[in-house]
Structure 1
Amino acid sequence: MSKPIVAIVGRPNVGKSTLFNALAGQNISIVKDTPGVTRDRIYADVNWLNHGFTMIDTGGIEPESKDIILSQMREQAQIAIDTADVIIFITDVRQGLVDADAKVADMLRRSGKPVVLAVNKVDNFDKLLMDVYEFYNLGIGEPFPISASSKLGLGDMLDEVVRHFEEEEEEEEEDDIPRVAIVGKPNVGKSSIINKLLGQSRVIVSDIAGTTRDAIDTNIMWQGREYIFIDTAGLRRKNKIKEELERYSIIRTVTAVDRADVVIVVIDAVEGITEQDAKIAGIAHERGKGIIIAVNKWDAVEKNDKTIYKYTSKVREFLSYMPYAELMFISAETGQRLPKLFDTIDMVLENQTLRIQTGVLNEIMAEAIALQQPPSDKGKRLKLYYITQVSVKPPTFVIFVNDKELMHFSYTRYLENKIREAFGFRGTSLKFIIRERKEKE
């Protein structure tokens, strides 16, 4: 089940970022040791009651003139309509109802997506209530008075947001068809890969009706097994500012990755791996997905006997935080190694859902400890009591120790390598949760 996506839309200076930060709190999705993961926080994971969702900030550029503001807002509203399950439309009680608000509200209303209307900067509920009522005129339902900077009224607004998820969840039934997202920068050949796969598997394509986001889902049958490919292509607006395009493609990547089991990160062989590729791969890594790095247009690279080694080490160096990712060299143009893609997807899926018995895990851990003593600090030594696997997708392990502080990142990494030596787990990240147990227990 993928997390719902909530997007924030509103004019400049009404408090979009303040609201974003208030909701994201400390729980901000920037991973410290992942190089290349976006620093400008476009998205964050938020939990409210029992619901987790991904919040995206569609904002970005703050233009001067009124017409540009409106066209920018339309653009942002369009991103929100395309990608979000629920839209928070934020307005400003001090500026009152503005023409641009009404125009964007029309657009949101016509989209049929659930919209929660938030009226910000209401620092005094009693005094400003009449001013809040004015926003009923937008015709998109009840206005929720909030103050993002003082964190007032956010609970009622979030209750309304998650109410819309529950309606959606009832409609979505879970199926067992593997979902594969094809992501990457514009023009690396994402669509050509899908088209070629379709050609080779000669299946009737059904673009599944009712997919809410504008990533196109395609069903492909391969040797009797069905797969759903999620394609994030379609970013072809030449006149857009580069930053904005990047922001848009990152938002769409996040939404596609969230829905997938396995992510294929496509890299252009001719251009070589770039920062933007590392950012995109970082999103899949952060989200604990199965990952295949597919170097496309391999037919167009001049080769000698060293080329593939040089290229491999370059990619590995760039993505040093995910050594587990599978690496493939393909060509959508000639179809080179595309059939092997399905074998690789199957292998990664199997690893994503692999469960290992507790007894076996503890044997491996005991052996690892015997080979390399756990670290100690000021005379206190780390003790590891017990390890068990608690979930899959990605495989997640809990390790019970005497003192969390002593469990260094590097020792966790060492144990991870030992587990990988035994079981492979190729193509999937592993997650470790460290819990403390007091000596007495």
Structure 2
Amino acid sequence: MKPVVVLVGRPNVGKSTLFNRMTRSRAALVADAPGLTRDRQYGDGRIGDRPYFVVDTGGIVDGMQSVKPGDDLAMHVASQVRVALAEADTVILLVDGREGIHPADRELAADLRKRGKPLWLAVNKSEGLDPATVAADFYELGLGEPVAVSAAHGDGVSELTRRVLATLPITEEIAPAEDMPRIAIIGKPNAGKSTLVNALLGEQRVVVGELPGTTRDSIHVPLERHGRHYLLIDTAGVRRRARIVAPLEKFSVLKALQAIDESNVAILVIDAQSGVSDQDASLAGYALHAGRALVVAANKWDAVEKSERTWAKRKIERKLPFLEFARLHYISARAGTNVARLFPSVDEAYESAKRTLTTPKLNRVLHEAVTANPPPRMHGRRARPKYAHQGGRNPPRIVIHGNQVASLSQSYRRYLANAFRKAFQLVGTPVLIECRQEKNPYKEIPGRSQKGRRRSAAKPRSKRVNYTQL
């Protein structure tokens, strides 16, 4: 098992920047604003031949023991930090070298010493300053020799990482699980995405709040269920573009869309009380355009009156006719009702997206579909699909060859996709139809008309003679 390095500190001291530097990624959202990170974020790092895990945590304002009882968000963040510290093999306390020692730094240092974990003190934002001078003031925290670093510029980060790993035993690296579905939880703000993630995990893994916008970053959470590995990605709620004003929210939305692109299956969480909005349909369309398999979860179903549930189901199904191939579940993430049923649908959609489609059966289905419903005429000519083969997986891509197939309408392509989906029992995944039109062999030959008739240049067409005038 790889060692776990946990980053702890006050808000806005550079923990997420150091996390990105140690993982050589941009997984953590970074902005010049305190309190951005709220959940714990995991990442993989490697220096030389030593792999490790890095955990980014939310900022602690006044120490973990000084959280006010009424501040629910601060209590959730502190709870996330405690869980991360329990998992840690070593801890790095990050402080701000330009601000000097803060009272919260003293409280954090005292609390960390009581936990008995190996501790390191990193003095961040030391670029352009003398390292010895910057680190001198922080000896009084009693955490040993401070290490001056600059997470933004990378100064001293490699040296800090080497020193931290040198004190940890070398363990055998476990190969990552193969065939692991990546599941993105998407939806509007306050639809219950984070609550659903916690329900799927069976623990309070991500911060949940009543106000919309609690989740700001995309949180990757590994999960093992019945011997199979999954990766859950909790995303920020996506609102309509016209309502996105703050730059921070724009970055959060961008991270959510990137999570969709990186996933294999997307669970669209909609609010069953308010019904399907235009933004829900737009998010579903984005996932389909990206070729992602889909599962729909109508959350907060327990809050819908029993007398109104039949009508609510009709409204949801009427608003999402283009998702008729996706499984629809009516759940309550808070109560845990029907949440476990999402996993079979996710497995089914993932396996359908990666299924191999045999060419003989594809051709048989194509010919049966064209015979039952021939393509309509376009500009006086009818397309003639001849044969098909699979051109890719995840999602399934079917390539159709023939004459004039490039003129097939989108409605007819959907008809063919539904025929293939029904024949191969594909559930939850879009089917992409790619048409490759055969070239006209006479088109590039000089002297050939579009109808393929030859006109000889050596023997021009003779004029008709009227013998009555001779």
User: TM-score band (shorter)?
Assistant: 0.5 to 0.7
2:233 counterpart SS class: strand
Counterpart position of 2:415? 414
Secondary structure (helix, strand or coil) at the match of 2:321 reads coil
Other structure's SS at 1:421 match: helix
Residues 352-399 of structure 1 deviation map (CA, whole Å, 9 limit, x = unaligned) = 111110100100111111111222234322111111111111000101
Q: Name the CA distance, whole Å, in 1 between partners of 2:282 and 2:237.
A: 19
Of the two structures, which has the highest relative contact order with CA contacts closer than 8 Å and spacing of 6 or more?
1
1:436 is matched with which residue? 437
1:435 to partner: Cα distance: 0.5
For 1:307, the aligned partner's letter is R
Amino acid at match of 1:344: S
- After TM superposition, the structure 1 = structure 2 runs for residues 130-149 of structure 1, keeping only pairs within 5 Å, are none
State percent identity of aligned pairs.
Answer: 36
The separation in 2 between residues aligned to 1:112 and 1:269, in whole angstroms, is 47
Q: 8 Å contact 1:325–1:426 — kept in the other structure?
A: yes
Residue deviations 1:391-428, cap 9 Å, x none?
A: 11100010112124431222211111211221232211
Match of 1:396 in 2: 397
Using the size of structure 1 for normalisation, the TM-score is: 0.55
1:257 to 256, 260, 270: 260
**Which whole-Å CA distance do the structure 1 matches of 2:221 and 2:259 have between them?**
13
Deviation per CA, 1:220-247, whole angstroms, max 9, x where unpaired?
A: 2211211110111499xxxxx7544764
Counterpart of 1:177 in 2: which secondary structure?
A: coil
The CA distance in 2 between the partners of 1:278 and 1:408, in whole Å, is: 22
Give the corresponding residue for 1:364.
Answer: 365
Show the counterpart of 2:299. 296
- The alignment status of 1:266 with 2:280, answered yes or no, reads no
**For residue 286 of structure 1, what is the aligned residue in structure 2?**
289
199, 210, 218: which one aligns with 1:196: 199
- Gaps of at least 5 residues in structure 1 are 1-57, 59-72, 83-102, 114-171, 207-212, 236-240
**Partner-residue secondary structure (3-state), 1:321:** helix
State whether residues 421 and 431 of structure 2, in contact with CA within 8 Å, keep that contact through their aligned partners in structure 1: no
Shift of 1:174: 8.8
State how far apart, in whole Å, the 2-side matches of 1:112 and 1:321 are. 48
Moved more, 269-278 or 347-356: 269-278
Q: Distance in 1 between matches of 2:297 and 2:379?
A: 47
Asked if the contact 2:385–2:400 (Cα under 8 Å) also holds between the matched residues in 1, the reply is yes
- Kept in 2, the 8 Å contact 1:358–1:388? The answer is yes
Quote how far apart the aligned CAs of 1:261 are.
0.6
Runs of at least 5 residues in structure 2 that lack an aligned partner in the other structure: 1-28, 42-124, 129-149, 155-174, 207-215, 443-470
User: Residues 50-86 of structure 1: CA distance to partner in whole angstroms, max 9, x if unpaired?
Assistant: xxxxxxxx9xxxxxxxxxxxxxx957xx99xx9xxxx
Superposition map of 1:185-264 within 5 A = 185-199=188-202, 214-233=217-236, 242-244=244-246, 247-264=250-267
Deviation of 1:440 (Å): 5.3
Greater Cα radius of gyration, structure 1 or 2: 2
CA distance in structure 2 between the aligned counterparts of 1:282 and 1:253, rounded to whole angstroms: 14
1:243 to 1:175, Cα distance in 2 relative to 1, 3 A: farther
Q: What are the superposed Cα offsets for residues 24-72 of structure 1, whole Å, 9 maximum, x if unpaired?
A: xxxxxxxxxxxxxxxxxxxxxxxxxxxxxxxxxx9xxxxxxxxxxxxxx
Aligned to 1:92: none
| Residues 375 and 246 of structure 1: CA distance in aligned 2, closer, same or farther (over 3 Å) | farther
| Counterpart AA for 1:276 | Q
Identify if the C-alpha distance between structure 1 residues 379 and 344 changes in structure 2 by more than 3 Å, giving closer, same or farther.
same
What amino acid is aligned across from residue 423 of structure 2 in structure 1? A
SS in 2 for 1:401: strand
Tell me the residue number matched to 2:467: none
1:205 touches 1:219 (CA, 8 Å); kept in 2?
no
Give distance in 2, aligned partners of 1:376 and 1:188: 46
1:176 deviates by 2.4
2:381 is the counterpart of 1:380 = yes
Please tell me the residue identity of whatever aligns with 2:274. Answer: E
Tell me the distance in 1 between the aligned counterparts of 2:250 and 2:275: 21
Q: 1:319 Cα deviation (Å)?
A: 2.9
8 Å contact kept, 2:292–2:394 = yes
Q: What residue in structure 2 maps to residue 307 of structure 1?
A: 309
Alignment of 1:66-81 (within 5 A): 74=32
Change over 3 Å in CA distance of 1:234–1:281 after alignment to 2: closer
Cα shift at 1:260: 0.8
Deviation at 1:321, TM superposition (A): 3.3
8 Å CA contact 1:205–1:220 kept in 2: the answer is no
Letter in 1 for 2:309: T
How many angstroms does 1:216 deviate by?
Answer: 1.3
